[in-house]
Chains A and B, each alone.
Chain A
Amino acid sequence: MSLAQIHLSHFGAMVIFALLVSVAFACAGRRTIPTRIKYALWCFLLFLAIGVGIAWLMYPLSR
């Protein structure tokens, strides 16, 4: 059995990874549903912000 292979951009892969890991962190780290949602959102945004920030810092090295 073979499943369709998907291709993601760097940013797309980062978004999916950040979303799923943020959900897991929120489930492990917070007790109530509202705090869990807030924590997951915060982790997700931090993942993206730090990822894009590191990409910009590395940009001069790529040229």
Chain B
Amino acid sequence: MATEVSLHTTPTRQKLASAALVAITAWIVPGLGHLLLRRWGRALGFFFACGGLALAGFALRGEIFSPHSDDPFGALGFIADLGSGIFYFVERMFETAGPDISRASGDYGTRFIAASGIVNLLGVIDALGIARGRRS
């Protein structure tokens, strides 16, 4: 009986573990989760979309939210920004002048950076669905 149980549970655990690995890699580097699943087109699309939004937001000098925010909107902004994975950490590393709040461009940049994170989370959900066999 114990052998039967282990035979049934091991593939499920392996599948869950590989799905979790795909989700984590998809979050850290946009498109990498799809790349592991050999979905080249989607990998390229998500990397291009997330990277483009993050780069445009950074060049527009949008606000990159820190983990220590006083208001709830700042905390939500941080969660959205963090969604873009490695792009968030690279932006934090190279940000020196802070956001440009004197122009509309800076405000657009803030939205671009947040959108980059949200788009990558969409990619993570898509990659997770493929890894679990729920999507093709």
Interface residues on A, range: 20 to 34
Minimal beta-carbon separation of A17 from chain B (angstroms): 7
In the complex, are the beta carbons of A36 and B96 less than 8 A apart? no
Alpha-carbon distance between A36 and B49 when the two chains are bound, in angstroms: 14
List chain A residues, Cβ under 8 A from B61: 5
Minimal beta-carbon separation of B105 from chain A (angstroms): 5
> Which residues of A1-39 have CB atoms within 8 Å of chain B's CB atoms?
1-8, 10, 13, 16-17, 20-21, 23-24, 26-28, 31, 33, 36
Minimal beta-carbon separation of A9 from chain B (angstroms): 9
How many positions in chain B have a CB within 8 Å of any CB in the partner chain? 30
Minimal beta-carbon separation of B131 from chain A (angstroms): 15
* Residue in A closest to B93 when the chains form the complex, CB atoms: A1
> Which residues of B90-105 have CB atoms within 8 Å of chain A's CB atoms?
94, 96-97, 100, 103-105
- Residues of chain A touching chain B, judged by Cβ–Cβ distance below 8 Å, are 1-8, 10, 13, 16-17, 20-21, 23-24, 26-28, 31, 33, 36
